[in-house]
Structure 1
């Protein structure tokens, strides 16, 4: 299968749908780790390959430094998914998400906040990297 912008967009639609399903069942107000565990189940149901709480290697002058930088999910080795349960997104959440995407050299990232009334309209943001623009 060829990795294209269209494929990445369809995959991100599936991932967002999984987040909406978890949110529809659980609603807002729970701890992030509860959403995380339920989302793992939902991604399994969709037969998506993912890594959960992935430690991201950090290269400094050619040496891997153990910084314990972890992202919530890397899905299909193409999309970073960062989940939050906060009152609102702050720039630090966006920067963190973009850093994970760039460190892992993937084309897209999704930032999701489960602590909202409507996840689709107010609880998620997507980001693309330079790798996305290089795809057909």
Structure 2
């Protein structure tokens, strides 16, 4: 089944990918995740795109709210979840985590961006719920 996203979700998604390409070109691979996160937020600010960093999302389970639920690296425009990585080895569990994050935060579009790759296009995974 093809999932149709809103124009705003698609626009934010394009901005996220553009920023990832820009940062990778300027900084290259091999830095700490926190450096990429700070620079990513700087680029979002330059583009006047609202975002939240290290956003805590409570989890409702069995009618009980758990505040220590999960933490999103970035929530961009209150619509798109972005998980930033700086790892040499890609872990498939990241995809399962992102799908869980999307489901639990009621968002539909998410990205895993791993900056520790020679070509950033190989480090970007887009996922739609």
TM-score with structure 2 length normalisation? 0.91
| Contact 1:88/1:113 (8 A) holds in 2 | no
Aligned equivalents of 1:97, 1:89: Cα separation in 2: 14
Return structure 1 stretches of 4+ with deviation > 6 angstroms: none
Please tell me the root mean square deviation across aligned C-alpha atoms, in Å: 1.5
Displacement of 1:6 after TM fit? Answer: 3.4
**What are the Cα deviations for residues 42-66 of structure 1, in whole angstroms up to 9, with x where unaligned?**
1101111100000011111122113
Unaligned residue ranges in structure 1 (runs of 5+): 130-136
TM-score with structure 1 length normalisation? 0.86
Displacement of 1:68 after TM fit? Answer: 4.8
| Contact 1:53/1:73 (8 A) holds in 2 | yes
Aligned to 2:123: 123
**What are the Cα deviations for residues 60-118 of structure 1, in whole angstroms up to 9, with x where unaligned?**
11221132521100111110000000113211111111111111101100110000111
Aligned equivalents of 1:47, 1:71: Cα separation in 2: 20
Aligned to 1:48: 49
Displacement of 1:23 after TM fit? Answer: 1.2
